[in-house]
Structure 1
């Protein structure tokens, strides 16, 4: 019996076993082409948890280095953006330089690369540029906001999508015999698999953890002699096997999830923060923010949402709200967790107590609706730019009044004809 967790021993070792991401893997798709040619660039994988980013990095390493024993014997390194430091990278670089002499590729997989600050990310640049290492960075965040432009320009960025329920279910079914081999006394139905796939919320690892938790809990029941007898049919009675129920799967799913940054609960909680602030309930807002922080949410994500709130729900009623929001974002970015939590709470308290006005939000909605309805309406001739003589002759800027010299300039037509009398403010 294999003591490894199910997600570990079911990890695919080649593209044939890889699940999902048909836009990246398959005939004529970029990652498959790279591997066929035997030359892989440094890459950034952006996507939600459990969609195959880490697995793909392992597959690439194995494909490029089928015989890792030659040379230094080590060609794949897994770093964490949370716990790994620059010194860890220095040790890897020395090994990578030796691998180059043996014609081996050294892959550095940096999970949660967005957790490294600018200075840490900068240390990667020369080695990525020279090809000393192949960097594969994994992130759940938008690289445009969290990864240095210089590093992005040296990498290919690929977006991994959350897996579909049927993709997860098919993967489990294909590997069901391996699971049964390790848990021969537990019967798993197609219905169990479908439910576990659904509870994973697009996260294969989460679905497998749910299934494994259900199996372990059911196995404990069998050991105690409880809840099994009424599940046996004649064959089960002889083999002493017990079947999983949907309730087993549901119970395991409820117990395995605390806070998932890409699940429905993530959006429920950030919605609770926003609405609590809108209603002036700072106590509730601070509670929900703490839930997110303790669940591992990126504090900068929370800051971005509070920044949006400052403009959407407070706006011109208190312009300092937006100024404080940007200041707190900068402070959180510089200090990081866990010390930055007080900055976020200070901002939340201020926003909850501030006067509310949603004028800017209403203006944004109304103007968007008009643009969508009327399309590209022409700019009135009087306020058009006229940098050339021909444009002037065509009437561009004709009779334009300069507001600093002529108070009546405010009465000029500034809106398109179809929206001549439209008021947003």
Structure 2
């Protein structure tokens, strides 16, 4: 069963590695935790895994990280480091029968004094009931569970299972770690990578933090005979670039839209444009991004610049009229407009305050003076009595009462001293002064 970064080692894989027939990634599999690159915050002396190994005692853990960062390798080396039996399952290929067999085998081994580390790859793919099935075996110590997932455990795993396991976050591999893998590949093959210095840097960047992908690319380069080292342009033609990790209904999706929202709110048009590009290049639905920008126009800009909402709706019309890729420029324009507009969340705060007041005050009736009186009975009951028509008043302002009897006037909308809202605040202050003077 292939796993993360270097896969799960099998007898056949070990034999192939010994004869040189195994893939390069298999031959470069770390033989100790110290050889694992890019995860020193976990495997080092002060890291959670390093401390567990030093104590010789493992607890159940969930390894959460991107593909190609070493989750399977770490699990296997953990078992070796504390001399536990290593058993592995993939949630993609395993069902209830496989789980039962794994637990039964672990119980037999426990009876002989041998504990089992049960590694479950893609553990988030097990349903809730299957995840609950682990609990009694973890609690009794029949197995030490090491689960691997690329999804946010907060959403993908049961709370009961999470409460019994420590979540450890693996980082995407940085440039230094990926360079180390290339160095090891060159040492293993006895050859220099047939690329220029600039192409080598481009190769590292193209891996997007995935060590397994990088080694596969390196192996492809070693498999051919070239007359001269490849430059970046030639390398790009020779190899394909790794697609960014981006699931439109998963954690990465929400992380990037959050980053876009925060960058716009923070008035950083350059960062906002970058996060917008990250989403659209990865295949996000453009209209989803536009919907979020339109919401942002009201939530974080509002009446500080009323044109912000107009720009978003115009971008929607333009995109639907032009399609991709021409229409994406309109989305860029809307994004940059929002990022460079004056900011105010006054409308957003006013909505929350007004909604709260509406729930608290129940069914208070409007004051009689502002009620319509289409019938004689309603007129006799005082509907509309004393209503002042504002257009007949000086300055178009009567100062009439519009609040329910027994309820003090609320103060929900508080415009900021920025953009168009600064002028709104001035008008509101003048109206308030008129009311206080008895208008």
1:148-176 deviation per Cα after TM superposition (whole angstroms, max 9, x unaligned): 11101110001111111121102321452
Gaps of 5+ in 2: 1-18, 253-274, 300-333, 367-402, 425-439
2:43 aligned with 1:31: no
2:363 aligned with 1:404: yes
Give the alignment partner of residue 60 of structure 1, picking from 69, 75, 78. 78
Give 1:360-375 correspondences, 5 Å limit.
366-367=344-345
Tell me how far 1:190 sits from its aligned partner: 5.6
Give the alignment partner of residue 3 of structure 1, picking from 4, 18, 21. 21
Tell me how far 1:402 sits from its aligned partner: 4.3
Say which SS state the counterpart of residue 171 (structure 1) adopts.
helix
- Cα distance 1:185–1:149, how it changes in 2: closer, same or farther (>3 A)? closer
2:59 aligned with 1:41: yes
Aligned residues: 291
Tell me how far 1:191 sits from its aligned partner: 5.2
TM-score normalized by the length of structure 1 = 0.58
Say which SS state the counterpart of residue 137 (structure 1) adopts.
strand
Gaps of 5+ in 1: 69-74, 232-242, 280-307, 316-357, 372-378, 385-400
Give the alignment partner of residue 285 of structure 2, picking from 273, 285, 295. 273
1:270-305 deviation per Cα after TM superposition (whole angstroms, max 9, x unaligned): 6541338959xxxxxxxxxxxxxxxxxxxxxxxxxx
Give the alignment partner of residue 207 of structure 1, picking from 214, 224, 249. 214
TM-score normalized by the length of structure 2 = 0.56
> What is the aligned partner in structure 2 of residue 161 from structure 1?
171
- Cα distance 1:261–1:210, how it changes in 2: closer, same or farther (>3 A)? farther
State whether residues 210 and 253 of structure 1, in contact with CA within 8 Å, keep that contact through their aligned partners in structure 2: yes
Tell me how far 1:98 sits from its aligned partner: 2.1
Question: Matches of 1:185 and 1:278 in 2, distance apart?
Answer: 48
Question: Matches of 1:104 and 1:369 in 2, distance apart?
Answer: 64
Question: Matches of 2:104 and 2:154 in 1, distance apart?
Answer: 30
2:36 aligned with 1:18: yes
> What is the aligned partner in structure 1 of residue 135 from structure 2?
125
Tell me how far 1:62 sits from its aligned partner: 1.1
Question: Matches of 1:277 and 1:163 in 2, distance apart?
Answer: 29
Question: Matches of 1:414 and 1:276 in 2, distance apart?
Answer: 34
State whether residues 214 and 251 of structure 1, in contact with CA within 8 Å, keep that contact through their aligned partners in structure 2: no
Question: Matches of 2:35 and 2:197 in 1, distance apart?
Answer: 20
- Cα distance 1:118–1:28, how it changes in 2: closer, same or farther (>3 A)? same
Tell me how far 1:253 sits from its aligned partner: 3.4
Question: Matches of 2:179 and 2:242 in 1, distance apart?
Answer: 19
Question: Matches of 1:369 and 1:139 in 2, distance apart?
Answer: 40
> What is the aligned partner in structure 2 of residue 394 from structure 1?
none
State whether residues 62 and 165 of structure 2, in contact with CA within 8 Å, keep that contact through their aligned partners in structure 1: yes
- Cα distance 1:170–1:258, how it changes in 2: closer, same or farther (>3 A)? closer
Say which SS state the counterpart of residue 119 (structure 2) adopts.
strand
Question: Matches of 2:346 and 2:80 in 1, distance apart?
Answer: 50
Give 1:224-243 correspondences, 5 Å limit.
228=227, 231=228, 243=229
Question: Matches of 1:310 and 1:190 in 2, distance apart?
Answer: 45
1:116-165 deviation per Cα after TM superposition (whole angstroms, max 9, x unaligned): 11111111111111111111111111111110111011100011111111
State whether residues 172 and 210 of structure 2, in contact with CA within 8 Å, keep that contact through their aligned partners in structure 1: yes
The structure with more radius of gyration = 2
RMSD, aligned α-carbons: 4.2
Say which SS state the counterpart of residue 164 (structure 2) adopts.
coil
> What is the aligned partner in structure 1 of residue 99 from structure 2?
89
1:80-110 deviation per Cα after TM superposition (whole angstroms, max 9, x unaligned): 1211112111111122112223332211111
2:88 aligned with 1:78: yes
Question: Matches of 1:204 and 1:312 in 2, distance apart?
Answer: 37
Give the alignment partner of residue 250 of structure 1, picking from 236, 240, 248. 236
Give 1:170-319 correspondences, 5 Å limit.
170-180=180-190, 193-216=200-223, 219=224, 222=225, 228=227, 231=228, 243=229, 246=232, 249-254=235-240, 257=242, 260-261=245-246, 267-268=279-280, 272-275=284-287
2:120 aligned with 1:142: no
Question: Matches of 1:148 and 1:87 in 2, distance apart?
Answer: 21
- Cα distance 1:119–1:168, how it changes in 2: closer, same or farther (>3 A)? same
- Cα distance 1:115–1:312, how it changes in 2: closer, same or farther (>3 A)? farther
1:178-221 deviation per Cα after TM superposition (whole angstroms, max 9, x unaligned): 133xxx597566655433222110111111111112222xx2xx
Question: Matches of 1:12 and 1:24 in 2, distance apart?
Answer: 15
Say which SS state the counterpart of residue 222 (structure 2) adopts.
helix
